[in-house]
Amino acid sequence: MRIGLSPWTGFKTMTRLELEKLSNLTLKEEVYRTTLPSGLEVSFCPKPGFQKRYACYSTRFGSIDNEFTGSGGESLRVPDGIAHFLEHTLFETPRGNASDLFALNGASNNASTSFTQTTYLFAASDRFWDNLGLLIDFVEDPCFQDDKVEKERGIIEQEIKGYDDNPGWVNYRGLLGNLFSEHPVRIDIAGTVETIAEIDTATLQSCYDRFYHPSNMHLFVVGDLDRQELFEFVAGRSRAGEALEGELERKYPAEPAEVFKAESEVEMDVAAAKFILGFKEIGVPLAGEDLVRRELLSDLGLDLLFGSSSDLFRELYEKQLVHDELWSGYDTLGGVAYAMVGGDTSSPDEFPGRLLDGIESCLGEALSRDHFERKKRQLIGDFVRRFSSLEFIAHGFTTYLFRDFDLFSLIDLINGLDREMLEEHLRSLLDPARHSIFKIIPRSS
């Protein structure tokens, strides 16, 4: 439930800063947020009684952002994998490696890069302000050095090779490469050994200047802290920043509606064959309530059709076509989306086709009122449960804020779902004309 904007004063270091308060009375949770003069958005969720205090500093910069406009409006194309490379190199500060500095404060820290977002985080029970200052400093004050970039290249090469031996990852990447022919979602988040060879301090700096501008970032803090002290601290510590020069426009190539490849497979040292059946969507909104509703409908619908309570799963399981449960998922990014259902099978030739055929015949029954209402209860339960986790609150809010949506409103969206909109969405999403299959086959030798 949104209580609305509540002007709140009392800062020593600034005037006229307003905090917006979001709250949910059922969950008994509140979030305060504001936008600093630099453009940086800052949010705080009080969690009295918790030992852990958690902060994550995120930018809307991920692996798909490899072509964008520079300060003069010119188009820049950067090497694949640069967002992830930048994440690694940002840890090198003039005072030493940021991870070491966090350790000296007792904090645990990490960072991650996805298709659309890079996040730096720490968790600490003690010396919170030292750690928050460190997080803000190292993210806001980069120091790209040739020798450090070289060292990081060797480490990332090993990281990429580790992923190349992971069957689940190879399967997922393979499917995306099959579904999409142009969109950068088909490129590995870390890039390849060849593309990261092109990265240098100049390319890193040019990405940093555009994507790490305060107006493109969000700082989320959760824990047992004083609200006033927190916002004062961040306002005093974070850079003032000048307005971003020129508009930051991300350029994604036009993606055809058809899939790039209907089917492919690779051999690996695995015990059982793995497969993912995927469906592709284009023309998906970048943000807003419609996007979030689409994600909810997809998750709910895929679980209704393929989850272990469905008739389709029961039939496939009884015919021994699937070893254990099927998993499913849906992701939207940069104007495209994909739905996936996967699992292990001893009949890799037969099974994905049977699954595809089963969708049409089971869709009607899966959408019955009883099944739909039960799944809605599950979604509500999952939503409530996750508020036990500080990490979920921080990452969930950030991800949704980057989509112009607030996490508390998700419950209203769930309650507002109906069967008609679900059926319409599923019939469009699971269009057999836009599917692809990627399989991992046990090595024959």
Partner 1 sequence: MIQNNQPALFERFALDGPMSLSVNSNRKLKNIIVKMFVLADLDESYTSRSLVPMVLRRGTTRLPDMQALRRYRESLYGCILGSSVIKVGEWQVAVFSLDIVNEAFLPGEESLLEKGLELLRELIFDPLVEDGAFSADYVAREKELLATNIRSNIDDKSEYAVLRCTEEMCAGEPYRRHEMGNLDEIAGIEPGALMDFYRDWSSSAPLSLYVCGDVDPVQVRERVAAAFSFERSETKTLSELPAAVEVGEVREVREQFEVNQAKLVLGFRHGIRPGDDAYEALLLLNAVLGGFSHSKLFQNVREKASLAYSAHSWVERTKGLLYMSCGIATENYEQALEISLAQLEAISEGEISDREFDASLKTILNQNRMLEDNFPALVGSDFIWRLHGGELDLAGLRERLEKVSRDDISAAAATIRHDTTYFLHS
Tell me which residues touch partner 1 (CB under 8 A).
26-28, 47, 49-52, 97, 99-100, 103-108, 123-126, 151, 154-156, 158-159, 161-162, 164-168, 269-272, 307-311, 313-314, 317, 320, 323-324, 344, 374-375, 377-382, 384-385, 387-388, 390, 443
Shorter beta-carbon distance to partner 1: residue 374 or 419: 374
3 state SS of 256: coil
Minimum Å gap between C-beta 353 and partner 1 is 21
Q: How many CB atoms lie within 10 A of CB 211?
A: 21
Shorter beta-carbon distance to partner 1: residue 121 or 248: 121
Compute the residue count for the chain. 445
Shorter beta-carbon distance to partner 1: residue 258 or 269: 269
Shorter beta-carbon distance to partner 1: residue 13 or 97: 97
Shorter beta-carbon distance to partner 1: residue 11 or 169: 169
How far is Cα 299 from Cα 331, in angstroms, rounded to an integer? 9
Q: How many Cα atoms occupy the beta-carbon half-sphere of 280 within 13 Å?
A: 26
The answer to whether 55 and 219 have CB atoms below 8 angstroms apart is yes
Minimum Å gap between C-beta 259 and partner 1 is 27
Minimum Å gap between C-beta 206 and partner 1 is 25
The answer to whether 53 and 222 have CB atoms below 8 angstroms apart is yes
Residue type at position 248: L
Backbone angles phi, psi at 67, to 5 degrees: -140, 125
Minimum Å gap between C-beta 286 and partner 1 is 30
Shorter beta-carbon distance to partner 1: residue 97 or 361: 97
Minimum Å gap between C-beta 326 and partner 1 is 12
Q: How many CB atoms lie within 10 A of CB 52?
A: 15
How far is Cα 89 from Cα 99, in angstroms, rounded to an integer? 12
Between the alpha carbon of residue 126 and those of residues 51, 105, 123, 182, 342, the distances in Å are 8, 8, 9, 47, 43
Number of H helices, E strands in the chain: 15, 17
Shorter beta-carbon distance to partner 1: residue 179 or 189: 189
Between the alpha carbon of residue 52 and those of residues 30, 33, 235, the distances in Å are 17, 20, 22
Minimum Å gap between C-beta 171 and partner 1 is 11
The answer to whether 366 and 311 have CB atoms below 8 angstroms apart is yes
- Report, as residue numbers or ranges, the catalytic residues: 87
Q: How many CB atoms lie within 10 A of CB 58?
A: 26
Burial, 438: exposed, middle or buried (Cβ in 10 Å; 0-12, 13-18, 19+)?
A: buried
Minimum Å gap between C-beta 239 and partner 1 is 26
The continuous run of DSSP H or E covering 242 comes out as none
How far is Cα 234 from Cα 384, in angstroms, rounded to an integer? 29
Shorter beta-carbon distance to partner 1: residue 174 or 334: 174
Minimum Å gap between C-beta 6 and partner 1 is 24
Q: Is 191 left (phi over 0), alpha (psi -120 to 50) or beta?
A: left
